[in-house]
């Protein structure tokens, strides 16, 4: 824009306002690295656990412990992203708080499920000893549904509020898989978890990263 201040007509003013508001809206180009990392990690964890059951082997450690380790690079990435960000949208604060709440809920859910299993196990053993049968009701058959239901919430809200369809549909798919998982055995639930993580985070993450890189490239071309 020139150093001299041109007199704006009413129409020009309105056109300028619209153009600038659209420019601010265009800024949403989030890197997809976090989504790719979590999508790939949960998919791998679920598939490894499935392989353990299917082929009768056990890893010397719980594969899901990798999710705790993954929190470290996540914190690093979030801090780096915050540092390099030139603009903060109102949505950014909302979305980061949403995913923080999701992380807390997930930790609480894991704790609750483990406590429930710890209380359930002696009862199960006692039942087996008394009747010689395994009860038809197995707690583990329903746990996956709870997790998938929780996975769907921030995924759907992020997708809907950022008008990012792959993530919105990913969230809906998580809920669809949560319903299916109620009726399927635990092994199938693990495959449903892997499928949900791939569709809700891994693939949207790849799309997001591709768009981000494309936008960066365009920005560089414009400013050369």
Partner 1 sequence: MFKDLDPILHSQLRLAVVSLLIGVREAEFTYIREKTGASSGNLSVQIQKLKDAGYIDVVKQFKDNYPQTICKITPAGVQAFEEYVKNLQTYLKT
Report the interface residues with partner 1, using CB under 8 A: 1, 3, 5-6, 8, 10-11, 13-14, 16-17, 19-21, 23-25, 27, 83, 86-90, 92-93, 219, 223
Task: Kindly state the smallest distance separating residue 171's Cβ from partner 1, in Å.
Answer: 25
Name the residue nearer to partner 1 (CB basis): 26 or 136: 26
Distance separating alpha carbons of residues 193 and 178, to the nearest angstrom: 9
Residue 23: C-alpha distances to residues 19, 171, 214 (Å) = 6, 28, 16
Task: Kindly state the smallest distance separating residue 65's Cβ from partner 1, in Å.
Answer: 35
Name the residue nearer to partner 1 (CB basis): 92 or 141: 92
Task: Kindly state the smallest distance separating residue 18's Cβ from partner 1, in Å.
Answer: 8
Name the residue nearer to partner 1 (CB basis): 69 or 87: 87
Name the residue nearer to partner 1 (CB basis): 82 or 210: 82
Name the residue nearer to partner 1 (CB basis): 52 or 92: 92
The per-residue DSSP string of 1-33 comes to --SS-PPPPHHHHHHHHHHHHHHHHTT-----H
Task: Kindly state the smallest distance separating residue 22's Cβ from partner 1, in Å.
Answer: 9
Which residues make Cβ contacts (< 8 Å) with residue 35, sequence separation at least 6? Answer: 167, 201, 202, 204, 205, 208
Rg, C-alpha atoms of the chain: 23
Task: Kindly state the smallest distance separating residue 220's Cβ from partner 1, in Å.
Answer: 11
Tell the burial category of 174 from Cβ atoms under 10 Å away from its Cβ (0-12, 13-18, 19+).
buried
Closest Cα partner for 124 from 140, 108, 110? Answer: 140
Distance separating alpha carbons of residues 25 and 31, to the nearest angstrom: 16
């Amino acid at each position: 824009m020139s150093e001299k201040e041109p007199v704006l007509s009413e129409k020009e003013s309105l056109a300028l306002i619209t153009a600038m508001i659209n420019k601010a809206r265009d800024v949403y180009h989030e890197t997809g690295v976090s989504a790719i990392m979590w999508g790939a990690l949960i998919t791998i964890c679920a598939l490894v656990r499935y392989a353990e059951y299917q082929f009768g082997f056990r890893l010397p450690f719980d594969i899901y412990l990798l999710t705790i380790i993954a929190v470290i690079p996540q914190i690093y990435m979030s801090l780096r992203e915050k540092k390099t960000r030139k603009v903060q949208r109102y949505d950014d604060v909302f979305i980061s708080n949403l995913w923080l709440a999701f992380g807390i809920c997930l930790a609480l859910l894991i704790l609750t499920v483990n406590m429930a299993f710890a209380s359930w196990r002696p009862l199960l053993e006692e039942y087996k000893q008394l009747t010689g049968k395994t009860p038809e009701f197995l707690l583990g058959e329903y746990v996956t549904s709870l997790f998938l239901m929780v996975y769907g919430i921030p995924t759907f809200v992020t997708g809907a509020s950022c008008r990012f369809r792959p993530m919105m549909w990913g969230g809906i798919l998580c809920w669809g898989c949560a319903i299916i998982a109620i009726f399927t055995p635990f092994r199938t639930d693990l495959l449903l978890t892997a499928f949900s993580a791939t569709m809700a985070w891994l693939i949207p993450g790849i799309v997001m990263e591709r768009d981000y890189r494309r936008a960066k490239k365009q920005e560089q071309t414009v400013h050369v």
